[in-house]
Amino acid sequence: MQGTIIENLSGKKLSVLVSLLVIGQIICFLIGGLIAPTPASSQNILGTQCEDIRVNGSEPGGGKWFYSRGKGACSSVNKGNFDLDDHYLAHQVVYAFQMPIPRNNRQLDYSRWQQNLIGVLQVDIMYHSQMEIVPETRITLDARLAYRNKGDPDYAWKPYAASIEERSLDCTIDLKTDDYIYNCSVVPLFELGSLFHDYYLLNVRLPADTDRNINQGLGHVTDLWLTVINQNGGFTKVWVSLKTIFFPIIVCVLAWYWRRVHMLSRSPALLEYMLLVLGSALTFLNMPLEYLTLAYDMPFMLLLGDIRQGVFYANLLSFWLIFAGEHLMIQDSEQRNSLKCYWRHLSAVGVGCLSLFVFDMCERGIQLRNPFYSIWVTDIGTKLALSFIILAGISAGVYLMFLTYMIWKVFTNISIKRATLPSMSAARRLHYEGVIYRFKFLMIATLLCATLTVVGFILGQMAEGQWKWDEDLELEVTSAFFTGVYGMWNNYILALLVLYAPSHKQWPIETSDSIGEEIEFSRLPTDPNEMLSLTAFAGKTAVE
Amino acid sequence: MACKNWVLVLLGVSLAAAASTRSGTWINVGLQGIRQLEAMRTTELYEVGASPLCANLNGLSPGQGRLCQLYQDHMAGVARGARAGIAECQHQFRDRRWNCSTVEDGTVFGPVLGIASRETAFVHAMAAAGVVYSVSRACRDGQLSSCGCSRSGRPRDLNREWIWGGCGDNLEYGYKFTQGFVDVRERERSYKRGSREQGRSLMNLHNNEAGRRAVVKKSKVTCKCHGVSGSCSLITCWQQLASFREVGDYLLDKYDGATEVRVNRRGRLSIRDPRFTLPTANDLVYLEDSPNFCLRNLSMGSLGTQGRVCNRTSAGMDGCNLLCCGRGYNTQKTIVRERCECKFHWCCFVECKTCVKSVDVHTCK
């Protein structure tokens, strides 16, 4: 590899650059912590038990929607817990969830800035000593989702999705006392990848069928609660602003970097290609596509977001491998500088990312067609999903082994070279010192970034884990974590692109091809003071 | 129609009663108020101008009356909560000498609440808990539009575009509203420092808080991971209400372990017996010992236990020995039909067999 900027940069310039990046990093962190709200918030909605008065036998479905607020609201079955002796039939009770629920005397409506909506259902089942339920029951839900926009009349709900879903319900109870509520697991119900409309309405029926044993072991269901989780609009705004700032910066730096590589007479080295690909992946991640969701209905955004992150991290992981490989300082390996010799290492990354991708396609891809779909509800689906995740985990393990092995090898090589450094000629020494410096710099930067990510993640989890009741936390830890990590990897790539770009201090030397031969000829340079040929030699060996 | 007339009569009665006594309690919202509310709903008088409920309801203090006018839409929730509190009290005390019996006037429980006893402490806590529970539920139902966070942290509301940040927890709203509504009557009047009245006021405040906290304490936190590919890099949590029975059981525990306190000269509550540990905000406190409720004494609100059914084999409070205060009991053989071997059918009905049993019923002499 050609000598890079970082080797030729004076300490002063380097420190200025690094401190600029650190300042940028701190700003990113503070933006998340002080300006942005928490990434997501939730609303807990109690289902209104609407009465479907249509005559027995009329199929649920059609254009009839049940809602609890506004003109034409349904008549509810009973205000409190309905009596066990009310002779309603199962299809006559419709649980209506009208979202969002009003807050602070305002009729809220979903904003497109909120990006996505996740619905989670909780079933309150009352314990009765005479009718205990088995710990794992199946619950069948007839769920239908409708939407309405501002300005539409109150009754104008338009169907969005409908599905009959079966979910498993794990219910336990610590203290078997009458009228206590079972502790049931939450049931993931739907995921909307875009929040395009203003109001949504969910109608849930619990159909009963004695012949096919549907919902027979359900016990005394008192309430259904729906928790809808949406991304906060403010967070999206901050997030998209960050992207809008980083996107052009990275594109410019990338263009500058590539121009620089092209100015070299030789064809670009593998590592330079890798950096370019990495930069492109980051650009893909940075692209503020979220603006489009404000105008168009793009339900695939959740999936696309996952893919973008996946592509970026796959490239980052591959880059680390190849970077370590290219700094092994083994002169004789002619095959270096091509992707082929890394196929074993890269396949670990590939398999891991591919299995995660397949898993994500199975979950979120199918959700594009049916937002109620979940891979986890069937046994086969759960096994499949688990196997994909385990496969990804194994690949991650293999990858880590490869990476640590390579880094360990580089370090042993470094210590060997260190020992022989004083006896080397000045040119070789400069070359190796450059390689060692480059490698160590990247190692430190990477370790720092990875550690910060992990520490931030753990801190964020801890802050979320303990539910704050009345303590007002000034810093939004989770948001700060997200913007901080996002800014950090941007800064990291930015620094790599700038510092590991080929240094122009050498490229005039390589304008003609004959020089390469000359240097090949003077393998052991006779004139150590000839600085130009020395550095050129260093460049030559690096190319090898 | 007959129902409406009955309400009118009742309104008249309560008006007359309001003029004569001030010893009523706001819990009356759950007893007489709820009937008025239901009557109003059927006649669609609800939401028209000044609610007659607030003006006519016996038992509200002036401050509570104003809050009632201000938050008319909350009153149905308050009423339901108070009623749930009364019902839960009656369930919890079904086997005790005092069985939380109500009377038809503004005092709800009769003169019992006049004594600063454990029972009074429990009733206040239970009613406050009922309101927290019910208002939170009404928020989650979407029927109350003013719910939200009154947290005065970051001024989120200033930026209407800052879409829905901050907390959306309605349990906190229920807690805050109840604090305002229930506690206001204790703060309206100033008492002489260290006086009995002041002690009573402090005791009520403490027990109201304990009741409110009981709901919060019994609620569970549930979380959902929803990061990239459903990973836990993003996690959202919310409070899930327990059943009100659980809250009642919890408060009954607190009733059994209530601490006797007295008011000192500085106007603070201090424990009477220094050997006991200090009560926390979750514990109940009382100032006076309870009457034994064995004999009928209407001036104290005691109906007596004569004629109550007791359990001969039980060693607890429902045992004939304790419940009948040693007066002995009569035994009568009766044939009881009861539901048994029930099978629940979703939705909404229970199929039971009727079992006929011959049992001995013991009643206190």
Q: Is A348 exposed, middle or buried (0-12, 13-18, 19+ CB in 10 A)?
A: buried
Determine, for residues B347 and A93 on separate chains, whether the beta-carbon distance falls below 8 Å. Answer: yes
- Is residue A167 within a helix (H) or strand (E), and if so which, with residue range? strand A158-172
Q: Other CB atoms closer than 10 Å to residue A280's CB: what's the count?
A: 17
Tell me which residue in B232, B235, B345 faces A208 most closely, judged by beta carbons: B345
pLDDT value at A470 more than 80? no
Give the pLDDT band of residue A25 (cuts 50, 70, 90). Answer: very high
- Lowest-confidence pick of A26-40, A180-194, A415-429, B197-211: A415-429
Give the pLDDT band of residue A542 (cuts 50, 70, 90). Answer: very low
Residues of B in contact with A120 (CB under 8 A): 224
Tell me which residue in B159, B238, B340 faces A44 most closely, judged by beta carbons: B238
Q: What is the distance between the alpha carbons of residues B263 and B199, in angstroms, rounded to a whole number?
A: 5
Determine, for residues A41 and B167 on separate chains, whether the beta-carbon distance falls below 8 Å. Answer: yes
Q: Does A219 touch chain B (CB under 8 A)?
A: yes
pLDDT value at A532 more than 60? no
Mean of pLDDT values over B344-355: 73
- Chain A, 350 to 369: residues with Cβ < 8 Å from chain B are 356, 359-360, 363-364
Which chain A residue shows the shortest CA-CA distance from B142? Answer: A101
pLDDT of residue B10: 38
pLDDT value at A256 more than 80? yes
Q: Other CB atoms closer than 10 Å to residue B16's CB: what's the count?
A: 11
Tell me which residue in B229, B233, B346 faces A215 most closely, judged by beta carbons: B346
Q: What is the distance between the alpha carbons of residues A132 and A48, in angstroms, rounded to a whole number?
A: 25
Give the pLDDT band of residue B320 (cuts 50, 70, 90). Answer: confident
Please state, rounded to an integer, the average pLDDT across all residues of chain A. Answer: 81
Q: What is the distance between the alpha carbons of residues B335 and A310, in angstroms, rounded to a whole number?
A: 73
Q: Is B353 exposed, middle or buried (0-12, 13-18, 19+ CB in 10 A)?
A: exposed
Cβ-based contacts under 8 A for chains A and B: 194
pLDDT value at B79 more than 70? yes
CA end-to-end distance (rounded Å), chain A: 7
Whole-number percent of chain B with pLDDT over 90: 21
Distance to chain A for B131, nearest Cα, Å:
14
Tell me which residue in B143, B156, B245 faces A180 most closely, judged by beta carbons: B245
Q: What is the distance between the alpha carbons of residues B362 and B120, in angstroms, rounded to a whole number?
A: 29
Distance of CA B215 to the CA centre of its chain: 11
pLDDT of residue A98: 92
Higher pLDDT: A539 or A73? It is A73
Determine, for residues B346 and A39 on separate chains, whether the beta-carbon distance falls below 8 Å. Answer: no
- The per-residue pLDDT for range B236-277, each reduced to its tens digit, is 888 888 899 999 999 999 999 999 998 888 888 888 888 888
Kindly state whether residues A78 and A23 are assigned to the same domain.
no
Count the helices and strands in chain A (H runs, E runs): 13, 10
Give the three-class secondary structure for B236. Answer: strand
Q: Which domain holds residue A171?
A: 40-231
Distance to chain B for A52, nearest Cα, Å:
13
- The per-residue pLDDT for range A220-243, each reduced to its tens digit, is 888 899 999 988 888 999 999 999
Q: What is the distance between the alpha carbons of residues A476 and A454, in angstroms, rounded to a whole number?
A: 17
pLDDT value at B126 more than 80? yes
pLDDT value at B65 more than 90? no
- Provide the domain count of chain A: 2
Q: Extract the tokens encoding B113.
A: 């609440």
Q: What is the distance between the alpha carbons of residues B347 and B349, in angstroms, rounded to a whole number?
A: 6
Which chain A residue shows the shortest CA-CA distance from B143? Answer: A69
Distance to chain A for B160, nearest Cα, Å:
10
Kindly state whether residues A450 and A494 are assigned to the same domain.
yes
Residues 6+ apart with CB under 8 A from A241: none
Determine, for residues A220 and B151 on separate chains, whether the beta-carbon distance falls below 8 Å. Answer: no
CA angle A108, A112, A115 (to 5 degrees): 110
Cα pseudo-dihedral A324, A325, A328, A334, rounded to 10: -160
Q: Which of B72, B90, B173, B229 to mutate to test the interface with A (most CBs of A within 10 A)?
A: B229
Distance to chain B for A509, nearest Cα, Å:
48
pLDDT of residue A8: 77
Q: Please tell me whether the peptide bond between B149 and the residue prior to it is cis, using omega within 30 degrees of 0.
A: no
Q: Please tell me whether the peptide bond between A528 and the residue prior to it is cis, using omega within 30 degrees of 0.
A: no
pLDDT of residue B229: 67
Determine, for residues B342 and A227 on separate chains, whether the beta-carbon distance falls below 8 Å. Answer: no
Kindly state whether residues A260 and A218 are assigned to the same domain.
no
Determine, for residues A469 and B246 on separate chains, whether the beta-carbon distance falls below 8 Å. Answer: no
Determine, for residues B148 and A103 on separate chains, whether the beta-carbon distance falls below 8 Å. Answer: yes
pLDDT of residue A475: 66
What are the residue ranges spanned by the domains of chain B? 2-151+165-301, 305-365
Higher pLDDT: B43 or A414? It is A414
Last residue of a domain, one of A178, A202, A231: A231
Last residue of a domain, one of A197, A231, A265: A231
Which chain A residue shows the shortest CA-CA distance from B38? Answer: A79
pLDDT value at B365 more than 90? no
Q: Does A17 touch chain B (CB under 8 A)?
A: no
Q: What is the distance between the alpha carbons of residues B36 and A441, in angstroms, rounded to a whole number?
A: 78
Whole-number percent of chain B with pLDDT over 70: 81
Tell me which residue in B159, B229, B344 faces A359 most closely, judged by beta carbons: B229
Q: What is the distance between the alpha carbons of residues A2 and A519, in angstroms, rounded to a whole number?
A: 14
Distance to chain B for A115, nearest Cα, Å:
11
pLDDT of residue B351: 73
Residues of A in contact with B145 (CB under 8 A): 102-103, 105-107
pLDDT value at A476 more than 70? yes
Tell me which residue in A216, A232, A305 faces B163 most closely, judged by beta carbons: A232
Give the pLDDT band of residue A133 (cuts 50, 70, 90). Answer: confident
pLDDT of residue B168: 58
Q: Other CB atoms closer than 10 Å to residue A252's CB: what's the count?
A: 10
Kindly state whether residues A169 and A58 are assigned to the same domain.
yes
Kindly state whether residues A73 and A182 are assigned to the same domain.
yes
- Chain A, 158 to 217: residues with Cβ < 8 Å from chain B are 177-181, 183, 186, 188, 206, 208, 210, 215-216
Residues 6+ apart with CB under 8 A from B297: B291, B304
pLDDT of residue A341: 79
Order of strands across the sheet with A199-205? Answer: A48-51, A93-99, A199-205, A136-148, A158-172, A183-184
Higher pLDDT: B287 or B72? It is B287
Kindly state whether residues A211 and A325 are assigned to the same domain.
no
- Output DSSP code: residue A361: I
Q: Which CATH number fits domain B305-365: 3.30.2460.20, 3.30.420.10, 1.10.3720.10, 2.60.40.10?
A: 3.30.2460.20
Q: Give B75-124 as a DSSP string.
A: HHHHHHHHHHHHHHHHHHTTTSSS-----SSTTSSGGGGGS-SHHHHHHH
Kindly state whether residues A484 and A534 are assigned to the same domain.
yes
Tell me which residue in A98, A128, A461 faces B142 most closely, judged by beta carbons: A98
Distance of CA A157 to the CA centre of its chain: 33
pLDDT of residue A521: 35
Mean of pLDDT values over A427-442: 81
Mean of pLDDT values over B27-56: 66
Q: Extract the tokens encoding B138.
A: 């009404």
Higher pLDDT: B135 or A508? It is B135
pLDDT of residue A463: 58
